[in-house]
Amino acid sequence: MADKQFDLVVVGGGPGGYVAAIRAAQLGMKAAVIEANHLGGICLNWGCIPTKALLRTSEIYHYMQNAEAYGLKADNVSFDLKKVVERSRGVAKQLNQGVGFLLKKNKVEVIDGWGKLAGGKPGAHKLVVEKDGKKVADVTAKNVILATGARARQLPGLEADGEQVWTYREAMVPKEFPKSLLVVGSGAIGIEFASFYRTLGAEVTVVEVLDRVLPVEDEEISDLAAKAFEAQGMKLITGATVKSLYKQHDKVTATIEKDGKFQNIDAERVIMAVGIVGNVENIGIEDTKVKVEKAHIVIDEWGQTGEPGIWAIGDVAGPPWLAHKASHEGIIAVERIAGQKDVHPLDTSRIPGCTYCSPQVASVGMTETAAKKAGRKIKVGRFPFQGNGKAIALGEPEGLVKTIFDADTGELLGAHMIGAEVTELIQGYGIAKTLETTEHELIESVFPHPTLSEMMHESVLDAYGRTIHF
């Protein structure tokens, strides 16, 4: 078997891996991607994209149920679960094929199989690729990027079985719609599934070990989200721990501890959404200087591991576990490998985070609490959706835009939103942070009318006592 030789090999074809390989090809490198399952990784096939397709279905279903509010009539509104799932899977398949096209277009070789480091020396790292237990390729590369992603965390005694206790995978392709659902964990994954199933009619209970849902978000936004979820009929139990799951043929009984007291909750299905762990096993790093801490590969600001020529990006390299972070890390690593002079390390404070529940939640930068703990003297601005003409016209008057500035310098420290389409709006503040924009420049910017984006402007104005429309 001939030894395939490359300038760069990426192990993993997710949103970090395939983007890194394409960027390498653009810079003149001979590049390859080794992928054992699906191009596009978890995000495209079992995460970001298909869940958004499901949530779009539930959003439309909600509007159809409330058609009269818009002067429309829609009788006997229902859904076909099989077709809902088929649409979601079809969207994922279309984009998976698109990734394959992009790699082929950029002359990146795709090797189908499981890639594993197998020795070598700096500048000539060897990898073995296996498929169904058989070796399909020997590969040598000057540089290797590990982009192997992550998987759902399993808690001892609460492990998913794929039948009654689900991870995100099973939750995405239900064969039958559960009448009742228990979601363990209220981060983005847990809350998005809770939102989807609740909107379609399931009785949903969410259990969170911390003292509030969406705990990484600004506390004010988190509180508004909780009120919205409860108004939709969700039951939220915070500061609580699931101690056990007792499976029966038609239900699961969860024993939950809160404040030293125990209660039992019955549900047809349970979704475990308690975080992820990096895929660091069986990739050949044991005899290298690649260091693993808390199930994630340790890297420097460029993505370099402790082993020269071995890099890591994306979920396997630690938080924040976001597809757009992985893609950006991949580009940084590749440009560093190529010796480009204008490469900058990734500033995680400039990475927007989005949760596509109903209402949507989005944020970038420091929360109000974090800014105060950092000793910053701050100015905070707020603007509610009910003061915005476009939001009222859309029938979406519930929400808030919140901005946080350094009182001395005018630096935008953070922005936090809840409401319709805020996952699209947040990038405006993301650009502002990247450009190190001050409140003066944001105030001087002209926002189009009527748009939801006007609330961003008004929130900035409010921080400085100048809001107009509320």
Question: Active-site residues: which are they?
Answer: 449
CA distance 442 to 459: 10
Compute the distance between CA of residue 390 and CA of residue 394 in angstroms, rounded to an integer.
Answer: 6
CA dihedral 87, 88, 92, 97 (to 10 degrees): 0
- Write out the H or E segment, with its range, that includes residue 468: none
| DSSP sequence for 73-109 | ---S----HHHHHHHHHHHHHHHHHHHHHHHHHTT-E
359: preceding bond cis by omega (within 30 degrees) = yes
* DSSP structure class, residue 153: -
Query: Three-state DSSP class for 333?
Result: helix
* First-to-last C-alpha distance (Å) of the chain: 72
Query: Which segments within 186-294 are labelled E, that is strand?
Result: 203-208, 235-238, 240-247, 252-258, 261-267, 269-272, 276-278, 292-293
How far is C-alpha 235 from the chain's CA centre? 24
User: Please, what sign has the CA dihedral across residues 99, 104, 109, 112?
Assistant: positive
Decide the pairing of beta strands 109-112 and 31-35: parallel
- Rounded-to-integer distance, Cα 126 and Cα 115, Å: 10
Using CA atoms, how far apart are residues 144 and 311, in angstroms rounded to an integer?
Answer: 6
Judging by beta carbons within 10 Å of its beta carbon (0-12, 13-18, 19+), is residue 211 exposed, middle or buried?
A: exposed
